[in-house]
Structure 1
């Protein structure tokens, strides 16, 4: 079973005085790249929440947001009376005939005129936040699994296509080898000279071995089977599948370079096209 690195999860927690919304979004990345956006009063719990997210998501470019909306009638932002009164006093000293209401409007816009009362996080509230965070992570996990199922279907199709093209290569190989023999015979006959038949047979064997792709065909078939078995394993092995796809590409390239036969090289191009589509999608696999 494979999972996609792409996903989105959201949960909403309603507390007596506030509503907390948690959002987690992930995209593909080689490693875990976690960006957290949370209010300052929850900073002391940031590391613990980061560890929870990292343990669950493992890999990907992750954006984590915790948003707080105050629903109670009271606000945590208060007017700093002492500071505002001092500002008004200074303004009156500068302009004795000024309007008192205008002085107040000016004073509340001055630095430190407003103060925010920092709330302490109680453990009961944070336990509720942790539970809500886990709900968001469960949602993103389901999203990743669903995306992974779609990717798996595409991989199965691409591997099947490469396997079918390999079968055509295997069927075509005797014809290719015979073509190589005929070209060498024709080249020798065009020289219109007598040649040592034994030496010619030795050279023929040498060139046939040079163009032989038996090992490559076997290894490619094994790699395709290994890719499929890894795809069906219980874990999501994006990196491992990437390594196997590199080996598949190596065998396909070798077959292409050794084939020296246009119809077979056309099949190789088709195999490369299917493999390239696999590699593009593997970037999204966890």
Structure 2
């Protein structure tokens, strides 16, 4: 599916920035982009987050800043049967640039420059969550001031860069359709033994031509991208199930547990067992 250009222009004439609060049974896969900056806070729900070529799990408290034209979507895990809710703040470069000329905004200006790859803020403090959840209750200058306070808190938080530095948003309609056909197929069938030949045939390319096309469009090799999807799903299982490491490795599509452990360590900088212990320790602290 091609990344959809989301047009928010109708709302620009009402307020200086847009705040939407969503509550739904689940977030559907909707791969899209827009020229506005976007700050998204997940209030409830679990599933997968796609930002550029980044594939990660999300849960309550997930906070991400996305720059203009960076494709993204959140997709709920429907099997968990958890209500999904989010606060989404969108603002234009035209709105924010008048503040960026001030020295006091130098740190935030640097952060916005990095947001073109997507920025994830782990464990955001209650203060910023509260301000985002109540900003729609404010009016006039107080409303703008609340947004500036949110920006100020962001500059003091540690963050992780999500998309690869060489990732380039795809705006060509034909190439967008082709790469999204492939990525959708990989997402749905990642646990199976999907061959390079079968995937290349989806968009009528030879294997060698497909590899060049995929690397150009995503900045990653086909096998590396597939492994990221599988590791992302493995992280969800390690956190939410009592299945053994071996069971999870095979269930997510790895033919060898040795290879699963090696790829997991390379991607997550820790072993599957260490990841499980860390996740459960964090869960215990928050309950």
Fold conserved (TM > 0.5)? no
Bigger Rg over Cα? 1
Larger % of helix: which? 1
TM norm structure 1:
0.21
- TM-score for both structures, normalised by structure 2: 0.21
